[in-house]
Chain A
Amino acid sequence: MNPSTVVETREGPWARAWGALVDADPVLAKEILVTVRTPAYARSIVAVPVVLTGLVLVASLTSLEVPGRVLFSTYVTGLAVLLGLLGAGLGSTVVVQEREANALEALKFSSLSPRRISLGKFLAVILAQAAVVVGTLPSLAIILASKDVSIGETCVALAIAFAGGVMTASIGIAVSAHAPHTRQALLAALLGAFLVGIGVTIWLALGSQIAARSDGPFDAANAYFEAPVDGRYVVFLLVAPAYAFAAVLWFAYALATSGLMDRSEDRSLPLKRWTLAVLAAGVAIVTGWGNTTRQLDRDWTAAVSMFSIASVAIGLLFVFAGEPVSPSRRMQVNPPSSVDRLLFPRCLAPSLLFPVVSGGLALVAVPVLLGASSRLGVDAAWGVTFLAALAGAMGSVAAKRGAATARRAGAAALIGLTIGVLWLRANSTGRSLADAVCPLWLDPDDARGAWALGFALLGWTTAAFASVVSMLRLVRAADRRQAPAVPGGP
Chain B
Amino acid sequence: MSVLREAFGASAPYRSPPEEHARPTQPAVIECDGLVHAFGPKTVLRGVTLEVPRGSIYGFIGPNGAGKTTTLRILATLLEPTSGTARVAGHDVASHPERVRRVLGYMPDGPGIYERVTVGEYLDFFASAQGIHGPSRARAVGRVLDLTDTGPLRSAQVTTLSKGQRQRLLLARTLLHDPEVLVLDEPASDLDPRARIELRTLLAELGRAKKTILLSSHILTELDELCDSIGVLEGGRVVVSGTIGEVHAKVATGRRVALTVLHRVDDAVALLRSSPRVTAVTVRDARDAGACSMEVTYEGDEWAVAELVSALAKADIAVCAVEPARADLEHIFMNVTGPGSSRPPGGTPR
Contacts and interface: CB of A to CB of B under 8 A. Distances in A.
A400 interface: yes
Nearest to A30: B125
Nearest to B110: A102
Contact of B111 (A38, A101, A398, A488): A101
B133 interface: yes
Contacts of A490: 34, 83-85
B76 interface: yes
Contact of B128 (A23, A101, A399, A402): A23
A297 interface: no
B151 A2 contact: yes
Contact of A107 (B49, B129, B146, B147): B129
A161 B315 CA distance: 97
Contacts of A60: none
A110 B126 contact: yes
Q: Give me the 4 closest cross-chain CB pairs, A-B, nearest first.
A: A486-B47, A102-B110, A6-B142, A489-B34
A402 B40 contact: yes
Interface in B104-144: 106, 108-117, 121, 124-126, 128-131, 133-134, 137-139, 141-143
B108 A2 contact: no
B43 A484 contact: yes
A32 to B, nearest CB: 11
A322 interface: yes
B82 interface: yes
Interface in B122-176: 124-126, 128-131, 133-134, 137-139, 141-143, 145-147, 149, 151-152, 154, 173
30 contacts: A1-B146, A2-B146, A2-B149, A22-B128, A23-B137, A101-B111, A102-B111, A106-B108, A109-B76, A109-B77, A110-B130, A111-B129, A111-B131, A263-B80, A328-B80, A329-B94, A329-B95, A400-B41, A403-B40, A478-B40, A481-B43, A482-B38, A483-B82, A484-B46, A486-B46, A486-B83, A487-B34, A488-B33, A488-B47, A488-B84
A334 interface: yes
Interface string A96-122: 001001110111111110000000000
Given A26-B129, A399-B41, A489-B47, A102 B146 contact: no
Contacts of B38: 478, 481-483
B95 A334 contact: yes
B112 A102 contact: yes
Given A22-B128, A111-B129, A4 B142 contact: yes
B36 interface: yes
Contacts of B152: 2
A112 B129 contact: yes
Contact of B112 (A38, A103, A488): A103
A294 interface: no
B31 to A, nearest CB: 10
Contacts of B85: 490
A421 B112 CA distance: 48
A108 B40 contact: no
> How big is chain B's contact interface, by range?
35 or more
Given A333-B95, A482-B43, A486-B34, A103 B128 contact: no
Determine which residue in A23, A112, A402, A489 has the highest number of CB atoms from chain B within 10 A of its CB, and name it. Answer: A489
Contacts of B81: 329
Given A106-B126, A483-B36, A23 B43 contact: no
A29 interface: yes
Interface string A290-334: 000000000000000000000000000000001000001110011
A20 to B, nearest CB: 9
B40 A398 contact: yes
A489 B78 CA distance: 20
Nearest to B39: A402
Determine which residue in A29, A98, A479, A486 has the highest number of CB atoms from chain B within 10 A of its CB, and name it. Answer: A486
A110 B105 CA distance: 9
A43 interface: no
B97 A487 contact: no
A23 B40 CA distance: 39
Contacts of A458: none
Interface in B10-58: 33-34, 36-38, 40-41, 43, 46-47, 49
Contacts of B84: 486, 488-490
B125 A29 contact: yes
Contact of B106 (A5, A109, A401, A488): A109
Nearest to B139: A6
B108 A402 contact: no
Given A5-B151, A262-B80, A38 B47 contact: no
Contact of A489 (B83, B145, B146): B83
A31 to B, nearest CB: 10
Nearest to B205: A1
Interface in B71-97: 76-85, 94-95, 97
B212 interface: no
Contacts of B300: none
A106 B116 contact: no
A284 interface: no
A102 B142 contact: no
Contacts of B347: 487
Nearest to B120: A5
Contacts of A402: 40-41
Contact of A5 (B97, B125, B129, B154): B154
A111 B132 CA distance: 10
B149 A22 contact: no
A210 to B, nearest CB: 47
B348 interface: yes
B80 A264 contact: yes
Contacts of A1: 146-147, 149
Contact of B34 (A98, A112, A482, A488): A488
